[in-house]
Amino acid sequence: MNNNFREIGLSIIPENDPTTSVGSLVTTQNFGSRFNFGNSWLLGVVFDDQTVDDNFYTSGEGLAEIDVTAVNTTTNQSFTTTTWTAGGYQMQLPGGTYQVTFSGDWNKDGQTDTETQQVTIGSENVKLDLKTDDLSIAPTPTAEPDLAPTPTPTAEPASNDAPTPTAEPDLAPTPTPTPEPASNDATTSNNSPVEDTTANHDLSSRIGHDTIAGGLGDDVIRGGDGDDVLRGDLNSRSPGGSIGGDDIIYGGKGNDRIGGKGGNDQLYGQDDNDQIWGDDGDDLLWGGLGNDTLTGDNFSGGRGSDTFVLAAGEGTDTIIDFHIGEDFLGLANGLTFEELTITQGTGANTKNTLISFGGEILAIINKVDSRYLMAVAEVAFTEV
């Protein structure tokens, strides 16, 4: 290459001339020679990353008509430009530190959004991109509440009027209400918290709004008629990590909160509007009847490959953190992929994928583009 050419510029521009044979977008590569070029440039692109988790600008993702204002923090001198059709912008600035403010309706909600970042301009050009989808996180369910340490159940019979939680008598007949030697099974009622940290257990709730936490073994936990908090491994909001058993949890009736914690868990919301967290491990999440919210891993910091179950006639589930290439959508009760309609949402669901069966919306998958889900549908959908 000629040594006089020092700079290379790349750009993507629209091409709508019907007399040419090129596509709607053209990539150009520019060579030039500049001397006495003056101040350095601040340049970049404003884009909405529609490709899930790739964190990279792709053609078609740029946002036009976004105002970019750079204010020198020392002199208060201000410079303003607007992004082009493809989302790019540039402005030549004297050396110094600048507060750069991006302003525009990138949420498409009719209101002006703003983001301010700081850069320092020296002898070289500075690139400052803005990835807007990181600034408008979709609504997430309320985190499970911090709970006070659960008291140890006493040996007195359970009572609705007791000032502290008490255990029911063991199921085996005894002449007095004193407890028998410890068992691996437990039952609670009347708003009683239960936490058991040994071996494998079968824990059940009857009535009231109960809190039940299993141990580190492979537990079976059954919620009752109230709004229960059911946790697979210990009474904690921690996702569990590598510690924890492979639990099976049934929510029963009521608006329950279910957390699998560690291990490869099976979590069933059953009736009413439940919130289910898979946490660590490769979990199966099935909301059941009602409009449920299913969170596989990220909200509580967990990891794993999760399966979110869809079934007809059970209401609309909201799936918070589906990862293409990692998680799966399970089809239950004879439901087949060919019977589904998969579309990109509109309005409040513009960034979400809708999965429907007939006229029923089975699931809303937050922050997933339907095009990318369809591209891996053969792998992502599985019978359960």
Mean predicted confidence (pLDDT) in 76-89: 93
Q: Out of 79-88, 171-180, 207-216, give the one with best mean pLDDT.
A: 79-88
Rounded to 5°, the CA angle 215-216-219 comes to: 65
347: three-class secondary structure by DSSP: helix
pTM for this structure?
A: 0.46
Strand partners, 154: 166
pLDDT for position 349: 93
The string of pLDDT tens digits covering residues 221-280 is 888 778 878 876 665 555 555 566 787 989 788 888 887 676 787 889 888 888 887 777
Locate 176 and state its tokens: 């007095």
pLDDT for position 227: 82
Per-residue burial over 270-283, b = 16 or more CB atoms within 10 Å of its CB, e = otherwise: bbbbbbbbbbbbbb
Q: What structural domains and CATH numbers belong to the chain?
A: 7-135 (2.60.40.10), 185-383 (no CATH)
| Rounded Cα–Cα distance for residues 114 and 136 (Å) | 11
Phi first, then psi: give them for residue 103, nearest 5 degrees.
-140, 125
Residue 15 has pLDDT above 80, yes or no: no
Residue 351 has pLDDT above 70, yes or no: yes
Average of per-residue pLDDT values in the chain: 76
| Rounded Cα–Cα distance for residues 362 and 160 (Å) | 40
Contact 368, 53 (CB under 8 A): no
Per-residue burial over 44-57, b = 16 or more CB atoms within 10 Å of its CB, e = otherwise: bbbbbbbebeeeeb
Residue 331 has pLDDT above 90, yes or no: yes
The string of pLDDT tens digits covering residues 288-297 is 888 888 877 6
pLDDT for position 6: 55
Contacts of 197 (CB under 8 A, 6+ apart): 215, 216, 234
Higher pLDDT, 273 or 200: 273
The string of pLDDT tens digits covering residues 108-152 is 888 898 999 999 999 899 999 998 877 644 444 555 555 555 555
Q: From the CB of residue 25, how many other CB atoms can be counted at a distance below 10 Å?
A: 13
| Rounded Cα–Cα distance for residues 182 and 284 (Å) | 31
Contact 263, 233 (CB under 8 A): yes
Rounded to 5°, the CA angle 228-156-256 comes to: 0
